[in-house]
Amino acid sequence: MKRWLVIVNPHSAANRTHQLAGGVIEVLNKTEGVEVSHRFTEEQGHGTILAREAIHEGFDAILSLGGDGTNNEVINGFFTSDGERLPGSTAFGLIPSGTGGDLARNFYAVRTPLSVAESLNNWELKTLDVGRSTLSLEDGTTTTRMFVNVASIGLTAEIGRRMTQSNKKLGGRVGYYLGFLKTVFSYPELQLELTRDNDPPQKVHARCIAVANGAWFGGGANIAPGAQVADGVFDVVVIGVGRLKLLTTSPKFYSGKHLSTPGIEMVQSQKIHIQSVHDKNMPVLVETDGEDVGQLPATFEVLPDAVPLLLPRPLP
């Protein structure tokens, strides 16, 4: 008998996840050969603690029921605070129930929680790359954070910090775009230095950079078209266009057609270090999977096939 633990963030999706969790658990309990338990998160960061406890207890899979922030907390629970993989073969799975649902877009065409839970009646294991970020904090120390979808620097991280709860209630795409409109006119062009793998440092002018393991972020923006979560590389998208061009190009980010725009470049890398050579008094923010985690300088490296991934077969 396999043992699955569902970690539920009851406050995700504007508190709606609390209402639907019972139905999701009931559906999962019909999965043949699987015993399903569930635990609720109680505060920020609790998902990481619960995941580490579940791995220690020997659960076969941990399913995240919540949004991208919940997924991020749970995936961090597969690692130590220094970014080292915990021993064991526990798999990660996700049942999307949040504002953005961007990680789920890499796997599911239909992303309602009940439909995904029903599809897991027939499941399989694949593998998932995980990103490890080493970030600076305001006090001059560093921290390590894992991410599974996208990390971004600059304008997009600033948007995430400024997003209000009222914006989130509007839904991922609308709320994020409102945050974009509020931020784009005041956020400056950054002077950054990038070092990719073993290449020499490269100076770039950019408003933001996305270090993408998955393809979507910001409530459905297809920032890195073709990115695969198990190909062993990041797709690094450098957005170096002016404010007006960024505004007129913004619809293309959702269709994934922005990479043909002059001033927007995509390269692949296994490891990338980014530091600011901009105004030293202006911190350049970094977010991972939509969570505000630190600032530049920062290093990002991909850990190939880091975690087993529980998915329906076939995908819904």
Write the pLDDT tens digit of every residue in 71-116.
999 999 999 999 999 999 999 999 999 777 899 999 998 779 999 9
Pairing of strands 61-66, 2-8: parallel
- CATH number, domain containing residue 115: 3.40.50.10330
Is there a single domain that holds both residue 219 and residue 254?
Answer: yes
Regarding whether 53 and 154 lie in a shared domain, the answer is: no
SS3 219: coil
Q: How far apart are CA 291 and CA 258, in angstroms?
A: 24
pTM: 0.94
pLDDT (tens digit per residue) in 46-78: 999 999 999 999 999 999 999 999 999 999 999
DSSP state of 216: -
Q: What's the CA gap between 216 and 80, in Å, rounded?
A: 26
Q: Are residues 90 and 154 located together in one domain of the fold?
A: no
Q: Are residues 110 and 156 in the same domain?
A: no
Whole-number Å distance between alpha carbons of 135 and 291:
13
Same domain assignment for residues 135 and 125:
no
Which residues form the domain of 65?
Answer: 2-129+306-312
Residue-wise pLDDT for 244-261, tens only, equals 999 999 999 999 999 999
Domain match, 116 and 180 both = no
Q: What are the tokens at 14?
A: 């504007």
3-state per-residue secondary structure call for 131-148: EEEEEECCCCCEEEEEEC
Is the same domain home to 187 and 271?
A: yes
Residue in the block written with tokens 């921290």: 143
pLDDT tens for residues 286-311? 999 999 999 999 999 999 999 999 99
- Report the domain count for the chain: 2
* Residues 242, 181 share a domain: yes
Same domain, 49 and 125: yes
